[in-house]
Chain A
Amino acid sequence: MSESIINALLGGSIIGVSVSLMLILNGRVTGIAGIYSQWLQWPKGDTFWRFAFILGLVLGGYVASLFIPNTFGPMVTDLPWVMIAGLLVGFGTALGSGCTSGHGVCGLSRFSIRSLVATLSFMGSGFLVASLIQLVKGV
């Protein structure tokens, strides 16, 4: 438990530094859903920096997996539910203009009420659904 907290604090600090670099250097918000979904709209708009970001994200995960055992955990649910969850995450972040990073980290740090509402919404439904699934499985 205490090791989990230390890892969360360390990882969170690194995330905090990286999104701050994005702001100070490029003047942009590090919202993964936005960066990824707008890159997909190629060839419209500015896509190159988005592609570079996603490439960095993928490579970072790879490098982390060389040093941290079991970096990538297994799925917690069956394939049909993985599909449904993927659809909901994609559709929801696009409609709500943001995800955990864009609203949850960047927006809250800017004291954006919009992002606070979004974060409370997705955290609320996230807690509710994950706990409901536990209820269905049996506590």
Chain B
Amino acid sequence: MTKNVLASFSVGFIFSLGLAISGMTHPEKVIGFLNILKNWDPSLIFVMGAAIPIHILAYQYIKNKSHPLFDSKWHYPTSKVITKNLVIGSLIFGMGWGIAGLCPGPALASVTSGSVEMYVFIGFMTLGMYIEKSVSQFLK
């Protein structure tokens, strides 16, 4: 339990450093990547370009292991069903990303920026999550 939580804290910390170094905490930079019509700056594609090969190796490494180091079982998702919700939700997320240049990680990593607008964004993001959960609970 304790090791688990400590690892999780450390991962959050390191992940955040990666976000900051890569430029993902700059909405302007993200919009420069998503807006292909003016001074297009595709450099952010190298964030995924570097992260994915490393993470592929990690999945290869754990393939024959029965459980993670600090837990008794694996928790990664195994669903293979392509649902309407998956596509519609992702399209909606992308629209918000394209408007503000912020996805959840960089927004939360920017909490100490002191920017009121950032708190507004995080607040409404949280509200959006609540609404989705309430609606899907209601539809069940």
Contact = CB atoms under 8 A, between A and B. Distances in A.
Given A12-B48, A99-B104, A60 B15 contact: yes
B98 A90 contact: no
Interface in A83-109: 83-101, 103-109
B108 A64 contact: no
A90 B125 contact: yes
A65 B26 CA distance: 12
Given A91-B92, A105-B48, A122-B93, A79 B34 contact: no
Interface residues of B, number: 114
Instruction: Please tell me the size bucket of the interface on A.
Output: 35 or more
B140 to A, nearest CB: 14
Interface in B6-35: 6-29, 31, 34-35
A89 B125 contact: yes
Interface of A: 1, 4-5, 7-30, 32-33, 36-37, 40-41, 48-50, 52-65, 68, 70-77, 79, 81-101, 103-110, 112-114, 117-119, 121-135, 139
Given A8-B47, A106-B76, A92 B93 contact: yes
Of all A-B residue pairs in the complex, the 9 with the closest CB atoms, nearest first, are: A90-B128, A11-B22, A96-B89, A60-B16, A56-B12, A92-B93, A95-B89, A86-B124, A88-B96
A129 B100 CA distance: 10
